[in-house]
A = this chain, B = another copy of it.
Amino acid sequence: MAVSSTLRGHRTFTGRNLSSIAMPLGGIGTGNVSIGGRGQLCDWEIYNRASKGTTLPNTFFMLRAQIGGNEPILRVLEGPLLAPHRESHGYHPSTGAGLPRMAAATFTGAYPFATIALTDPDLPLDVEIEAFTPLIPLNPQDSGIPCAILTYRVTNCSDERAQITLVGSLANPVGGIGRDRYQNLSGGGVGQNRNVARTEEHLAGLHMTSERYAPDDIHYGDVSLTTTHPFVTIKRAWLRGAWYDYVREFWDDLSDDGALTDLGYESVSEDGLSDTGSLGVVDTLSPGEQGRYRFILTWHFPNRAPGWEKQQGTPLRNQYATHFASSWETARYVAENMPRLESTTRSFHQALFGSTLPPEVIDAISANIVVVRSTTCFWLEDGRFYGWEGCFDDGGCCAGSCTHVWAYAYTAAFLFPSLERSMRTIEFTIETEPSGYMTFRTFKTFGDQFEWGWGDQKPEAAVDGQMGSIIRAYREWRLSGDQAWLADIWPGIKQAMAFALTQWDTDNDGLLDGRQHNTYDIEFYGPNPLSSFYHLAALRAAEALAIVQGDTTFASECRMAYERAAPQLHTLLWNGAYYQQRLADVDSQPYQHGAGCLTDQLLGQLHACVLGLGDLVPAEQARSALLAIVQNNFRDNFRTHINCQRTYLLNDDQGLLLCTWPQGGRPRFPFPYSDEVWTGCEYQVAAHLIYVGETETGLKLVRAARARHDGESRNPWDEVECGHHYARAMSSWALLPALTGFTSDASANWMAFDLRPEAVDQNEARVFWSSGRAWGTYRQYRNADGSWQPEVIVLGGDAHGIRVMACGQEWRID
């Protein structure tokens, strides 16, 4: 079995619940191809932009099996196609939809691993596909390989020898496949494509190139389909014939004797056309024997558009292009380093899915790691890491590493902290002006104009985004202890912090009350909890950083501002049940929340919890407010909910609204998204509830969010908001420190654990940790005397000398 019984948090799907599943493969900044619920390859997002719904012609794996002396049986190694089947012209022959395929599929997902079990009553072979791309904490380079590793495990369940050929076919996609209205191949950027069969030690397969594009062309690139299996059969190009004869010729060729016949084409493909190549592995399996056939799919499209939306100009280059010169080189690297890449990825996987955390939490954490490796993010030659908010089906959505959305995100900070540091560097050294005004979307970095201005005006400064970046600068410092980096960004931090007091606190009472743009894409006016908690947490973070920088004056200023504001927050905003916005007339400006119970009201406090910045308001009040949020904003179903805004939840879905007005006072037009539900908000509230001891209530929110992603209604590996793979959903990572009480300070070289009971499985607990410098597993188990025995197992990074505090014990890692 793919999933050990000691693992939890994986998700298993069959039947209709396979229909929306697509788990992205691919690394950081590489783009993706996804493995679908039926075992099919889909969503070819390898060209440096989102491309949901795309498929490649003739691209599927097929098994030919001859059991004893029987007639060979051929099957596409995918589960049955699912309803609806309402294409205007049926399924095109190049989809392979008409070919016999496996009768049933079961998909098990535990990111970064997907396993698809395929069975067929007529075929006495069990087939299991395992798909993954290496993912190693703190190692973005080896987590950023443009590859998908597909392992086909075939077990001979018959009592006779089975001769098998397992063939992967792939259309050479370099330049981009075009189709006419009948879905026949036509147009697009392909043409002059060439498939070359190559064999070297430990590696054989097809290198797919195009002679049409120069190395600096945006379309330039290549793809390889390779295997590490020693016995291969290769057809470089399918029949270049009329009608659908190419499918038939391939079928007949494979069916005939299990060896592929190369048709001898030496010319490149015609313009608008491409060639499909097939790579087969050949084996014989004794009764009961399992064969394991590994295919490595690699791609190399080094050039990307020269800005967020800008299409003209010198292309930017992907980080991976600095390590690899071609997809073939990439394949060679993967093959040569497979033992390390695979075992380390499995270590991480085991550390996370083998933990004793509640399964819904493991699911929520792991599923949103996808965002970092999706087309929502990119990673350039110069080491800088960027993110959209999310993705349209066919491109990034909402440019500029948007500070107020990314402020919810914890995943990259803990797994790949260098990437988040590069974002802070951009924010504080490029996007922050001497006035302290910070663009909440980074455009200057590519020399772009403000594309998202207010007419000719600069964009507003976003209060949550700007304060969030200060808080995150402190987070990155705690996770790295990188003094040079901090010194570099410190002037910007100081300016950005000062800006809040001069620009947003118009009455000088310590609380922000000016025109406060924020993550709801509107401006709040007057004192309000979202801004205030963010502001207080930022002041604490800035103070701490000022002390590190030896800037005691500024540290004092922050401390004084904090001390002035904190009581005001309580006095002005606490309404006895939760924190609310104070406005004389809630309709004096559109899009306020007033007396509404805002789900994000305490977000700044959550950040303070995760980063050890302490209680900004009395803990008991925070707890009450959090419970009020759930009591008021959680819905058991959405059948009668009234939502005139965007709709993510409906029918029997359960989830947490962004705002409700339990005490009345709903504005005529509240902020645009108030009646919506965002997973990123649900997770941050859930984590916060766990911090204040309301774990079961927090877990309820997590379960609701993940249950909605049931494989039929929604893809479990794609939480959408304003786009696919939405960055805000990376708040789910905060569930990990919340449940494990994990805190650390790399500059002081310590880390600590304080597990919630819910993270403990009877007498043992195992959890994953990452301190920014090292990562591994933390265990605690009962001694004979009933006391807890803590243990840290380091799986990667440099943990030398880290002081650990747990279970009342303290020790130093050798």
Contacts and interface: CB of A to CB of B under 8 A. Distances in A.
Contacts of A647: 90-91, 93, 95, 97-98
A259 interface: no
Contacts of A644: 93, 98-99, 244, 247-248, 251
Interface residues on A, range: 35 or more
Interface stretch (A138-146, A268-276, A343-351, A707-715): A707-715
Interface string A753-789: 0000000000000000000000000000000000000
A447 to B, nearest CB: 24
A650 interface: yes
A90 B20 contact: no
A390 interface: yes
Interface string A87-101: 111111101011110
A640 interface: yes
A314 interface: no
A3 to B, nearest CB: 25
A99 B91 CA distance: 35
Given A98-B647, A247-B644, A669-B245, A89 B723 contact: yes
Nearest to A394: B181
A586 to B, nearest CB: 15
A646 B81 contact: no
Interface in A575-619: 590-591
Contacts of A723: 88-89
Nearest to A714: B86
B85 A52 contact: no
A48 B721 CA distance: 36
A809 interface: no
A564 interface: no
A714 B20 contact: no
A722 interface: yes
Contacts of A93: 644-647
A392 B87 CA distance: 9
A628 interface: no
Contact of A640 (B122, B181, B639, B721): B122
Interface in A227-253: 241-245, 247-248, 251-252
Nearest to A89: B722
Nearest to A652: B80
Contacts of A84: 19-20, 712-714
A359 to B, nearest CB: 23
Given A93-B644, A100-B639, A100-B642, A650 B85 contact: yes
Given A89-B722, A244-B672, A651 B80 contact: yes
Interface string A12-30: 0000000110000000000
Nearest to A255: B642
B90 A646 contact: yes
- Copies of this chain, count: 2
Given A98-B644, A642-B98, A713 B244 contact: no
A675 interface: yes
Given A88-B52, A88-B397, A642-B98, A713 B248 contact: no
Interface in A62-89: 80-81, 83-89
Contact of A650 (B97, B641, B720): B97
A730 interface: no
A672 B242 CA distance: 10
A650 B243 contact: no
Contacts of A99: 642-644
Interface in A40-65: 52
A641 B98 contact: yes
A640 B102 CA distance: 9
Contact of A720 (B90, B252, B668, B715): B90
A478 interface: no
Contact of A646 (B98, B390, B668, B712): B98
A422 to B, nearest CB: 27
A104 to B, nearest CB: 11
A263 to B, nearest CB: 14
Contacts of A675: 98
Nearest to A74: B642
Contacts of A640: 100, 122
B641 A100 contact: yes
Interface of A: 19-20, 52, 80-81, 83-93, 95, 97-100, 103, 122, 181-182, 241-245, 247-248, 251-252, 390-393, 397, 590-591, 639-648, 650-651, 668-669, 672, 675-676, 712-715, 718, 720-724
6 contacts: A81-B651, A84-B713, A87-B720, A93-B646, A98-B645, A181-B392
Given A88-B392, A89-B720, 18 more contacts: A19-B84, A20-B84, A52-B88, A80-B639, A83-B712, A85-B650, A86-B714, A86-B718, A87-B720, A89-B392, A90-B720, A90-B721, A95-B647, A98-B642, A98-B644, A98-B647, A99-B644, A244-B646
